[in-house]
Structure 1
Amino acid sequence: MGLTGGRRADQAGDVFRNRVDAAAELLGRLERFRDRDVVVLGLPRGGVPVAAAVAEGLDAPLDVIVVRKLGLPTQTEVAMGAIGEGGVRVVDDDLVRRARVSDARFAEVERHEQATLDRRVVQLRGGRPPVPLAGRTALVVDDGLATGATAEAACRVARARGAARVVLAVPVAPKDAAARVPSADEVVAVEVPDWFMAVGQAYADFRQTSDEEVVALLEHARDRTGDRGAPRAGTDPGSAEG
């Protein structure tokens, strides 16, 4: 596992105009996955516009992997872990210990986020089953990588669903991105700044993506691909490795 394709910059500051601009640059790093048995998986909400553009550019199916950050009770923007579909759970035990988060307080946060996750799975998929991943390459896409907790949870979900290869692709990531997401076979990034604090630093326009936009993008992708969400017969899921 390693980090592929990252440009080095002194700092992350308005590198991309918006998520569409970021997706166009990321797509250029992912051309080797064209005509492969790939499923593009966006992390709601902000990762889905990036994933949708990548999926359309590669003419690949699009789906979501729903994950939820477990934020510290005193600093909710800081991830002490993450949960994902199918009971996937990632915990930063060292941070939990240093922040002195009790078992009861952790369980309270986890219960709240699990309820939100369950609700959002129904909301975003509309009762449809996930696109099958068994034997395929799962291209997990977000709008950037920070702590890596939610990305790691998403990659674990893809692996549990039988993906033969799991690739995380993001427009911006820290230099140690690969170490932060050990469940990915490969991490692809456009920008890898030497100084990196938050994903939003890399965007001039980092406005929040709405649930309505996510649902619309998923519906458009289903109309585009039709029944091609099913695996392609006779394809080699590992042949995109390079």
Structure 2
Amino acid sequence: MELFADRAEAGALLAERLRDARDPVLLALPRGGVAVAAPIARRLGTQLEVLVTRKIGYPPAPELGVGAMAEGGEPVFDLRLLHRLGLTPESVAGVVERERRELARRVRTYRGDRPLPSIEGREVIVVDDGLATGGTARAALRAVRAAKPAKVTLAVPVGARETVMSLREEADEVVVLREPVDFRAVGQWYEHFDQLSDDDVLELLGRG
């Protein structure tokens, strides 16, 4: 399966699939989702904004996500994984609190004191650079749903097939360009998949 050159190319290809959206609110998950969403914003002629999310990691191995949260929403846990690890939501309360603080810091970094745009009754497109387990996307979609939009679309260049299927229950529409069977990591589907900094995100948002 052909690779995307980079996030910008993936976003341009996604934009063609989203061109019929009507005055949408475009929310990107930082950091990688912002680079994908920037060409979509240009194609649709709409403002790009961030929706900050944080993974809730397993304390002995923080890279293993047992849940996630998005600004304006409650933590969303992988209850089956928690059970397998002998944990409960209460037992990772300390991790949740730390991630809440980091989430708030990133909101201040990216938006300052400005709130998210109002999405009640609007069409909303949530963008990320790919879906592995889908934990942060799920938390983002539930936070958006709570604000009562008219329609929620999740748009990603690539995603694990099972994850894409499960997230169709969370969004009105899921737009994904590629669903490879042999999915291992998001980065394997890009020729260039550089890590982005907060400064990179601010530059993409026109706030650098």
The TM tier, using the shorter chain, reads over 0.9
The question of whether the paired residues in 1 share the 8 Å contact of 2:8 and 2:36 is answered with: yes
Task: Name the SS for the 1:167 alignment partner.
Answer: strand
The question of whether the paired residues in 2 share the 8 Å contact of 1:152 and 1:181 is answered with: no
Q: Which residue of 1 aligns with 2:150?
A: 164
CA distance in 2, matches of 1:87, 1:167: 17
Question: What's the TM-score, normalizing by structure 2?
Answer: 0.92
Deviations 1:70-115 (A, max 9, x none): 1222332222110111242210111011022365651121111111
Q: Which residue of 2 aligns with 1:76?
A: 62
Residue 208 in structure 1 maps to residue 202 in structure 2: no
- The gaps in structure 1 that reach 5 residues or longer are 1-8, 221-242
Higher relative contact order, structure no. (Cα contacts within 8 Å, ≥ 6 residues apart) = 1
CA distance in 2, matches of 1:161, 1:132: 8
The question of whether the paired residues in 1 share the 8 Å contact of 2:73 and 2:142 is answered with: no
Q: Structure 1 counterpart of 2:206, which letter?
A: E
1:196 to 183, 186, 193: 183
Rg comparison, structure with higher value: 1
Q: Which residue of 2 aligns with 1:94?
A: 80
Q: Which residue of 2 aligns with 1:3?
A: none
Deviations 1:35-93 (A, max 9, x none): x1201110011100111111111111211111101122233222211011124221011
What are the residue-to-residue correspondences of 1:164-183 with 2, within 5 Å? 164-176=150-162, 177-180=164-167, 182-183=169-170
Question: What's the TM-score, normalizing by structure 1?
Answer: 0.80
CA distance in 2, matches of 1:49, 1:181: 23
**Number of positions where the alignment pairs a residue of Structure 1 with one of Structure 2:** 206
Q: What's the offset of the Cα at 1:25?
A: 1.4
CA distance in 1, matches of 2:48, 2:105: 20
CA distance in 2, matches of 1:53, 1:65: 17
1:28 to 16, 19, 29: 16
Q: Which residue of 1 aligns with 2:34?
A: 48
Question: What is the alpha-carbon root mean square deviation over aligned residues?
Answer: 1.7
Q: Structure 2 counterpart of 1:74, which letter?
A: P
Aligned CA distance change for structure 1 residues 118 and 60 (closer, same or farther; 3 Å): same
Q: What's the offset of the Cα at 1:180?
A: 3.6
Residue 149 in structure 1 maps to residue 135 in structure 2: yes
